[in-house]
Amino acid sequence: MRRLIAGNWKMNGLISSQAEIEALKGLTGGATCDIVVCPPFTLIDRAVEAVKGSNLVIGAQDCHAQSSGAHTGEISAEMLADLGVRYVILGHSERRVLNGEDDEIVMGKALAAHRAGLISIVCVGETRHERDEARALEVVGEQLRGSVPEGATSRHLVIAYEPVWAIGTGLVPTSEQIEEVHAAIRQMLKERLGDDGHLVKILYGGSVKASNAAVIFGLRNVDGALVGGASLKASEFAGIISAAV
């Protein structure tokens, strides 16, 4: 399967950060994987212009479930599609925890993204406490069942397994732990989507860097990565991308 490497800039980046996108274009011209950069909303318009004619595409970090209306401060999937956005990250653990987003909300957003023609990157993952209680598979299964809408297909859906305790901490699960969860996700996708479940990309996310990417990409059912901190510097992100091809 063609790998997908997505960078989540979170609430980072000013107009001057455009230089990182320009640099990334220069560093990844020959890459044979799909590369997505998800800057904050404020930079999306410029970023879409900047990547024209390159192999980079632009994603967003969230969208609203409604297409328009009285939702002050929100951004709809249709607005993102209108700008030329192709992907949207949904249900990131920071939004689940800090913005109180539950599975039902994430599913509503995934439906909206699908309606607008965007590809959803739906994030799932257990907390440290849940892993310590040996509940990682149960929690991820519940999130997946609750967040992935009926009728989802591999053309509109990517799953990112992001253990909450590995995000931004420098901690990475063992290879066995990653393979165990990714295999369980693959199995659930096959049960939900039939044969098409084989084609849904499953990304790993959580402290991926250029130095550990090759090992992670070598694991079964790992089809790419969702990268936070290491996506902010073009040279580091390019190092991860080169490990994927």
Catalytic residue positions, numbered: 92, 162
CB of 227 to ligand PEP, least distance (A): 5
x-or-dash string of contact with ligand PEP, 188-227, rule CB under 6 A: -----------------xxxx-----------------xx
- CB of 114 vs ligand PEP, minimal distance in Å: 21
Give the residue with the Cβ less far from ligand PEP, 18 or 212: 212
Nearer to ligand PEP, 66 or 242 (CB): 242
Binding mask 139-178 for ligand PEP (x = CB under 6 A): -----------------------x----xx----------
Query: Could you say which DSSP state residue 224 is in?
Result: E
Q: What is the rounded distance in angstroms from the CA atom of residue 13 to the CA atom of residue 28?
A: 20
User: Which residue shows structure tokens 């967003």?
Assistant: 60
d(C-alpha 159, C-alpha 122), whole Å: 5
Task: Pick between residue 12 and residue 175 the one whose CB is nearest to ligand PEP.
Answer: 12
- Would the annotation count 168 as a binding residue? yes
Q: How far apart are CA 152 and CA 154, in angstroms?
A: 7
Has 228 been labeled as part of a binding site? Answer: yes
- Find the shortest distance in angstroms from Cβ 70 to ligand PEP: 30
* 26 is annotated as contributing to ligand binding: no
Q: What angle do CA 108, 137, 130 make, to 5 degrees?
A: 90
The pair of structure tokens assigned to 156 is 């509109």
Planar angle of CA 135, 139, 143, nearest 5 degrees: 175
CB of 168 to ligand PEP, least distance (A): 4
Q: Say if residue 141 carries a ligand binding annotation.
A: no
Buried b (16+ CB within 10 A) or exposed e, 106-125: bbbbbbbbbebebbbbbbbb
DSSP string computed for 13-50: --GGGHHHHHHHHHHSTT--SEEEEE--HHHHHHHHHH
Closest to ligand PEP by CB, 197 vs 228, is 228
Q: Provide the mask over 7-36, with x wherever binding to ligand PEP is found by CB under 6 A and - wherever it is not.
A: -x----------------------------
Closest CB to ligand PEP among residues 91, 197: 91
Burial string for 9-42 (b: 16+ CB within 10 Å, else e) reads bbeebeeebbebbeebbebbeebebbbbbbbbee
165 labeled part of a ligand binding site: no
**Feature table: binding site:** 8-10, 168, 207, 228-229
Contact residues: ligand PEP, CB under 6 A: 8, 92, 162, 167-168, 205-208, 226-230
